[in-house]
Amino acid sequence: MSVNQQAHVGPPYRQPQPGYPGYPQPGYGGQQIPGVPPSQYGAYNGPVTGYQPMGPPQGSLRAPPASGAPPPTSGAPVPPGQPACSQFGQGDVHNGIPAPAVPVQRPSASQQYMLSTASAAVSQPAAFQYASAPTSAQQLTNHMAGMQIGSASTSAPPPAGLGYGPPTSVPPASGSFGATGAGPYASYAGQGPLPHGLPPTSLSQGLPMAQPAVSSPPSALHLPSQAPGFAPPPMSAAAGVSPYSPAAGVSASPMMQGPLPGQATAGLLTSQPNHATSPPPPPPPMGGPPTGPPMQGPLPPTHPSQPRYPLQQNGSFGQNRGPQPNYNAAYSGPANYGSQPGAPPPPKRLDPDSIPSPIQVIEDDRNNRGSEPFITGVRGQVPPLVTTNFLVKDQGNASPRYIRCTSYNIPCTSDMAKQSQVPLAAVIKPLATLPSEEAPPYLVDHGESGPIRCNRCKAYMCPFMQFIEGGRRFQCCFCSCVTEVPSHYFQHLDHTGRRVDYYDRPELSLGSYEFLATVDYCKNNKFPNPPAFIFMIDVSYNAVRSGLVRLICEELKTLLDYLPREGNMEESAIRVGFVTYNKVLHFYNVKSSLAQPQMMVVCDVADMFVPLLDGFLVNVNESRAVFTSLLDQIPEMFADTRETETVFGPVIQAGMEALKAAECAGKLFIFHTSLPIAEAPGKLKNRDDKKLINTDKEKTLFQPQTSFYSNLAKECVAQGCCVDLFLFPNQYLDVATLGVVPYQTGGSVYKYAYFQVETDQERFLNDLRRDVQKEVGFDAVMRVRTSTGIRATDFFGAFYMSNTTDVELAGLDCDKTITVEFKHDDKLSEDSGALLQCAVLYTSCAGQRRLRIHNLSLNCCTQLADLYRNCETDTLINFLAKFAYRGLLNNPVKTVRDTLINQCAQILACYRKNCASPSSAGQLILPECMKLLPVYLNCVLKSDVLQPGSEVTTDDRSYIRQLVTSMDVAETNVFFYPRLLPLTKVDVNSDSLPTAIRNSEERLSKGDIYLLENGLNIFLWVGVNVQQGLIQNLFGVSSFSQISSSMCALPVLDNPFSKKVQSIIDMFQAQRSRYMKLMIVKQEDKLDLLFKHFLVEDKSLNGGASYVDFLCHMHKEIRQLLS
pLDDT of residue 275: 34
pLDDT of residue 555: 97
Nearest CA to 97 out of 490, 508, 412, 460 is that of 508
pLDDT at 281 > cutoff 90: no
- List 392's β-bridge partners, or say none: 374
Q: How far is CA 213 from CA 114, 316, 664, 904, 931, in A?
A: 10, 8, 55, 20, 10
953-970 mean pLDDT: 97
The Cα–Cα gap between 598 and 296 comes to 90
pLDDT at 388 > cutoff 60: yes
Q: How far is CA 954 from CA 38, 513, 760, 869, 960, in A?
A: 18, 42, 22, 40, 10
Nearest CA to 1116 out of 92, 245, 474 is that of 245
516-540 mean pLDDT: 95
pLDDT at 162 > cutoff 90: no
Three-class SS state of 927: coil
The Cα–Cα gap between 1111 and 1123 comes to 18
Least confident residue range of 146-150, 579-583, 1000-1004:
146-150
Is residue 991 very low, low, confident or very high in pLDDT (cuts 50, 70, 90)? Answer: confident
The Cα–Cα gap between 266 and 263 comes to 8
pLDDT at 961 > cutoff 90: yes
Three-class SS state of 850: strand
pLDDT at 34 > cutoff 50: no
Residue count of the chain: 1123
Is residue 1111 within 8 Å of 350, Cβ to Cβ? Answer: yes
Neighbours of 279 (CB within 10 A): 7
Neighbours of 441 (CB within 10 A): 21
1039-1048 mean pLDDT: 92
Strand locations in 1026-1091 (E): 1077-1082
pLDDT of residue 439: 94
pTM comes to: 0.74
Q: How far is CA 625 from CA 564, 619, 620, 629, in A?
A: 21, 12, 9, 6
The Cα–Cα gap between 999 and 173 comes to 21
Burial label for 645, CB within 10 Å (0-12, 13-18, 19+), is middle
pLDDT tens figures, 622-669: 999 999 999 999 999 999 999 999 999 999 999 999 999 999 999 999
The Cα–Cα gap between 408 and 410 comes to 6
pLDDT at 485 > cutoff 80: yes
3-state SS track over 860-903: EECCHHHHHHCECHHHHHHHHHHHHHHHCCCCCHHHHHHHHHHH
Strand locations in 941-1049 (E): 979-982, 1009-1013, 1017-1022
50 vs 575, which has greater pLDDT?
A: 575
Is residue 920 very low, low, confident or very high in pLDDT (cuts 50, 70, 90)? Answer: confident
pLDDT at 409 > cutoff 70: yes
- Return mean pLDDT, the chain: 78
Q: What is the Cα 293 distance to its own chain's centre?
A: 48
14-33 mean pLDDT: 39
Is residue 446 within 8 Å of 426, Cβ to Cβ? Answer: no
Between β-strands 1017-1022 and 1077-1082, what pairing exists: parallel, antiparallel or unpaired?
Answer: parallel
C-alpha triplet 983, 987, 991: angle, nearest 5°:
105
pLDDT at 369 > cutoff 70: yes
pLDDT tens figures, 856-890: 999 999 999 999 999 999 999 999 999 999 999 99
pLDDT tens figures, 669-701: 999 999 999 999 999 999 999 899 889 999 999
Least confident residue range of 103-117, 197-211, 573-587, 936-950:
197-211
Q: How far is CA 1101 from CA 271, 683, 917, in A?
A: 19, 37, 39
The Cα–Cα gap between 51 and 975 comes to 11
Phi, psi of 1011 (to 5 degrees): -115, 125
Neighbours of 1052 (CB within 10 A): 9
As a whole-number percent, the residues of the chain with pLDDT over 70 amount to 69
Segment holding 813, helix H or strand E: strand 807-813
Phi, psi of 175 (to 5 degrees): -155, 130
Is residue 595 within 8 Å of 676, Cβ to Cβ? Answer: no
384 vs 161, which has greater pLDDT?
A: 384
943-967 mean pLDDT: 93
Is residue 288 within 8 Å of 342, Cβ to Cβ? Answer: yes
C-alpha triplet 116, 119, 122: angle, nearest 5°:
130
pLDDT at 730 > cutoff 70: yes
Non-local (6+) Cβ contacts of 402 within 8 A are 428, 429, 430, 432, 512, 838, 854
Q: How far is CA 930 from CA 50, 189, 688, in A?
A: 20, 19, 39
pLDDT tens figures, 206-260: 444 444 433 333 345 654 433 333 333 333 333 333 334 333 333 333 333 333 3
Per-state percent for the chain, helix, strand, coil, to nearest 5: 25, 15, 60
Is residue 923 very low, low, confident or very high in pLDDT (cuts 50, 70, 90)? Answer: confident
pLDDT at 25 > cutoff 50: no
pLDDT of residue 220: 56
pLDDT at 14 > cutoff 70: no
pLDDT at 781 > cutoff 70: yes
Phi, psi of 309 (to 5 degrees): -55, 140
Is residue 591 very low, low, confident or very high in pLDDT (cuts 50, 70, 90)? Answer: very high
Neighbours of 771 (CB within 10 A): 22
Q: Which residues of 118-135 are buried (b: 16+ CB within 10 A; e: fewer)?
A: bbbbbebeebbebeeebe
Is residue 67 very low, low, confident or very high in pLDDT (cuts 50, 70, 90)? Answer: very low
DSSP states of 208-226: ------TTPPPB-EE--SS
The Cα–Cα gap between 219 and 214 comes to 11
pLDDT of residue 545: 96
Strand locations in 530-604 (E): 532-538, 575-581, 585-589, 598-602
Largest CA distance in the chain: 97
Q: What is the Cα 334 distance to its own chain's centre?
A: 27
pLDDT of residue 345: 54
pLDDT of residue 922: 82
Three-class SS state of 1021: strand
The Cα–Cα gap between 997 and 1003 comes to 7
Is residue 255 within 8 Å of 298, Cβ to Cβ? Answer: yes
